[in-house]
Amino acid sequence: MMKLAKKDILGIRDMSREEINLILDTAESFLEISTREIKKVPTLRGKSVINLFYEASTRTRTSFELAGKRLSADTINISASTSSAVKGETLIDTARNLEAMTPDIIVIRHSAAGAPHLLAGLVRQSIINAGDGSHEHPSQALLDMLTIKEKKGKIAGLKVAIIGDIAHSRVARSNIYGLSKMGAEVVVAGPPTMLPRDIDKLGVRVCTKLEDAVADADVVMMLRIQLEREKQNIFPSLREYARHYCLNRRNLGLAKPDAIVMHPGPINRGVEISPDIADDPTCSVILNQVNNGVAVRMALLYLLTGGSE
Ligand code: CP
């Protein structure tokens, strides 16, 4: 029986292929629980999980909460906007106070890259990174890998195109680490202002044209245009961006006929993905990703509290 020999889940970069497989296999076994009429098992009874979110979230926060509840853990949500952070309390002080309440796991999303790593070195509890700045979003990459495995039966040998704002995307970074470790060929594409210098050093092929990346792809992963960064002039206008980088029926036709389309959400309809593609059940697996997110987060909570495969 394999156990996860880690206190924290901080990123995919520091995860081995064996650890990724352990998490995906465990998540697969949890998928069935969410199909039951009574979606609850006693596995984590007596454990408590704090979701500490300093940034907005719909999918990640809700699915960590549901994951905890479906395993019978007590889950508590804290939003920075309604916490003592608004009175000026530092992240370190907040973490020390939460530690004093003896939860088992703290899930944190923060705009600062490295915030979860800081807490991991500070408190006894397991820390899960639910997205730190433009750095990593490990649970998203794990649910993406689970979805690819579910739909394609494998990850190794597939061509995965990741399109959009690569520079600011923690989803892209975690997926590049994970998919490469699992043997996929990863191609990234975006406007030059959205491609980090040296991204090719991560072992990916880099294109500036969406069409070049999508050609013969098995998986097309579109990224959200981060509208909050528009003021930084990284692209001329949404219309101009959509003209070159919106996935539509025409350019998706360049991918393999059975290619799947992914997006971490939230979607900007008509900007990075056309609504008819996003809503087309013959290619879009966006809601499967969301469904799998609950199982992946159940697996993370279970494995971090000492569960084995
Ligand atoms: N994919 C994702 O992280 O979505 P949320 O921001 O809604 O959590």
Cβ contacts of residue 21 below 8 Å, gap of 6+? none
Would you say the pTM of this structure is higher than 0.95?
Answer: yes
Atom of ligand 1 nearest to the CA of 58: 7
Q: How many whole angstroms from 285 Cα to the centroid of ligand 1?
A: 16
Segment 247-273 shows an average pLDDT of 98
The closest alpha carbon to 218, from 273, 156, 260, 246, belongs to 260
User: Rounded distance, CA 126 to CA 124, Å?
Assistant: 7
The overall average pLDDT reported for the chain is 96
- pLDDT above 90 as % of the chain: 94
Output DSSP code: residue 72. Answer: T
Residue nearest to atom 1 of ligand 1 (CA): 264
pLDDT category of residue 149 using cuts at 50, 70 and 90: very high
pLDDT at 229 over 70: no
pLDDT of residue 226: 84
pLDDT at 308 over 80: no
Q: How many whole angstroms from 137 Cα to the centroid of ligand 1?
A: 9
The sheet with strand 205-207 has its strands ordered as 205-207, 185-189, 159-163, 219-222, 260-262
Q: How many whole angstroms from 1 Cα to the centroid of ligand 1?
A: 32
User: Rounded distance, CA 288 to CA 21, Å?
Assistant: 19
What digits encode the pLDDT tens for the residues 170-228? Answer: 999 999 999 999 999 999 999 999 999 999 999 999 999 999 999 999 999 999 998 77
Q: How many whole angstroms from 70 Cα to the centroid of ligand 1?
A: 20
The preferred substitution site among 54, 60, 267 for testing ligand 1, maximizing ligand atoms within 8 Å of CB, is 60
Report residues whose beta carbon is within 6 angstroms of any ligand 1 atom: 57-60, 131, 140, 264-266
Residue nearest to atom 5 of ligand 1 (CA): 57
Q: How many whole angstroms from 209 Cα to the centroid of ligand 1?
A: 26
The preferred substitution site among 52, 55, 59 for testing ligand 1, maximizing ligand atoms within 8 Å of CB, is 59
User: Rounded distance, CA 80 to CA 235, Å?
Assistant: 30
What digits encode the pLDDT tens for the residues 37-96? Answer: 999 999 999 999 999 999 999 999 999 999 999 999 999 999 999 999 999 999 999 999
